[in-house]
Amino acid sequence: MTRSHPVPPNCSLCPDRPPLWKDTTTAALHRPERWLWYCAGCRRRWEPTGADRQGFTWGVTGPERLPREHCAR
C-alpha cells in the first residue's frame, strides 16, 4: 500500500493563490501538532483544521507519545 502525500491548501486571500507553508516555529518534540499554515505572499498565518493536523503532522501523536519528563530538553 502506497501512501500519497497530502497537498497543502492554497491562500484564499492572495490573487495568485500560492500554496501555504507549514510553519513549525511553535512545534516541539513533545508537541509535534503545534504548527500553523503560513502564506509567503501575504505573510498571514492560519490555524489548520483537524483534518490538516491529521494529514500533515509528522512524528509521534496519541497515546504512544512519551511523557514530557522523558523528552530531551
For residue 50, being part of any structural domain is answered with yes
For residue 44, being part of any structural domain is answered with yes
For residue 39, being part of any structural domain is answered with yes
pLDDT tens digits for range 4-21 = 677 889 999 999 999 999
For residue 48, being part of any structural domain is answered with yes
Q: Is the pLDDT of residue 68 over 70?
A: no
Q: Which residues contact 41 (CB under 8 A, 6 or more apart)?
A: 11, 14, 16, 18
For residue 62, being part of any structural domain is answered with no
Calculate the CA 31 to chain-centre distance: 11
pLDDT tens digits for range 38-63 = 999 999 998 998 888 888 876 544 54
For residue 69, being part of any structural domain is answered with no
Q: Which domain holds residue 37?
A: 9-57
| The residue type at 52 | D
For residue 65, being part of any structural domain is answered with no
Query: 48 versus 27: which is more confidently predicted?
Result: 48
Q: What's the pLDDT at 38?
A: 94
For residue 31, being part of any structural domain is answered with yes
Number of domains in the chain: 1
Measure the CA–CA gap between 69 and 1, rounded to whole angstroms.
36
